[in-house]
Amino acid sequence: MIQKATVIGSGVMGHGIAQVFALVGIPVHLYDLTKEKLRNAFDSINKNLDLYVKNELISPREKEQALKQIQMTTNLEESLVDSKFVIEAIPEVLQLKWDLYRSLETICTQDVIIASNTSTIPLTTLIQHSTYPERFIIAHFLNPAPLVPLVEVIKHECTSKRVIDTTMSLLKSIGKTPILLKKEIQGFVVNRIQAALLREALALIDEDIVSMEDMDKIIKDGPGFRWAFIGPIETVDFGGLDTWKRIFDILFPDLDNRQSSPEFINKLVAQNKLGSKTGEGIYPYKDTSIDDVLTERDSNFLRLLKIKAKQQIIEK
């Protein structure tokens, strides 16, 4: 059982992962390069927990207790004291991750598990320079980390059984749904599925078949409505394999097969319109603040979590 954890990098993902540990009473060190980054992380966690209190998921006292579990530091060695599980959520830049692992491996004892929250880099690449590759694993949380239950877990043939078992039971103990992939593959499962869906969705917008607003509505009120409770494989079974076979035979040859990002996305990126983090992306967010949009998103996820928790109790 892990008694203390360390999260390295306190940005979009790191602060959320630290919050998850803190909420279940696991003391967590949160490390980043500057005090300013850590202050921002604290403000975000504080705001997230206020939303939990407002939605009556935790009491104000539980919020204060959770905040007390988080120790923030800009000193790497200090952040690793007594910690047996370290997860890094630093930028998706391979050299940065390699440099960090080199430092971690000089400071941590051999039994310390080192997990990465990478969304794309294969574990084989991450461990290329490591001294003890058997201690490395990928635990891919989804954004927002405190709210989305799934964590994809990716092992390497070197990853030890102890590391896999401990990571899986730790993730379950913090309320997550960890899924261990049988083999590693580029993009893992979630991002491959999202990319496949987005390739077609963006092509349909690009070809002016549907507006971007209607595309979002189509997914939210159509397949997305079902996906909260039945997966795509179950959907096929419930719909009838004969029907789905016809759909596959007609549509597979016709689906978009482009090999790179669509031109309108490239243009937005070149203009630094990167989405909510720069104030504008595919949508302009002109009549509402980004903060309000994200708070509404998280309130809806909290409501869904409550419904799913009730459903699980009924099924038991």
Ligand X SMILES: NC(=O)c1ccc[n+]([C@@H]2O[C@H](COP(=O)([O-])OP(=O)(O)OC[C@H]3O[C@@H](n4cnc5c(N)ncnc54)[C@H](O)[C@@H]3O)[C@@H](O)[C@H]2O)c1
- Binding site residues, ligand X, CB under 6 A: 8-14, 31-33, 37, 89-92, 96, 100, 117-119, 140, 142-143
* 191 has catalytic annotation: yes
Query: Which is closer to ligand X, CB of 180 or CB of 236?
Result: 180
Catalytic residue, candidates 83, 116, 152, 156: 152
Amino acid found at 292: D
Q: How far is the CB of 74 from ligand X (least distance, A)?
A: 9
Q: How far is the CB of 208 from ligand X (least distance, A)?
A: 29
Quote the CA–CA distance of 51 and 276 in Å, as a whole number.
Answer: 20
Burial code (b: 16+ CB inside 10 Å, e: under 16) for 46-84 equals eebbebbeeeebeeeeebeebeebbbbbeebeebbeebb
Quote the CA–CA distance of 131 and 122 in Å, as a whole number.
Answer: 17
Q: How far is the CB of 103 from ligand X (least distance, A)?
A: 8
Query: Which is closer to ligand X, CB of 121 or CB of 164?
Result: 121
Catalytic residue, candidates 44, 160, 191, 276: 191
Cβ(177)–Cβ(149) under 8 Å?
A: yes
Quote the CA–CA distance of 6 and 114 in Å, as a whole number.
Answer: 10
Catalytic residue, candidates 40, 55, 119, 130: 119
Binding residues for NAD(+): 9-14, 32, 92, 97, 119, 143, 277
Read off the DSSP letter of residue 175: T
CA 268 to chain centre: 24
Q: How far is the CB of 196 from ligand X (least distance, A)?
A: 18
Tokens found for residue 11 = 């940005």
Query: Which is closer to ligand X, CB of 91 or CB of 284?
Result: 91
Q: Which residue sits closest to ligand X, CB atoms considered?
A: 11
**Which is nearest to 38 in space by CA: 30, 48, 27?**
30
Catalytic residue, candidates 83, 88, 116, 140: 140
Query: Which is closer to ligand X, CB of 94 or CB of 307?
Result: 94
Query: Which is closer to ligand X, CB of 31 or CB of 52?
Result: 31
For residue 38, the SS3 value is helix
| CB neighbourhood size of 277 (10 A) | 9
Q: How far is the CB of 12 from ligand X (least distance, A)?
A: 4
* 140 has catalytic annotation: yes
CA distances from 35 to 10, 20, 56, 67, 203 (A): 10, 21, 31, 17, 43
Binding residues: 9-14, 32, 92, 97, 119, 143, 277
The catalytic residues are: 119, 140, 152, 191
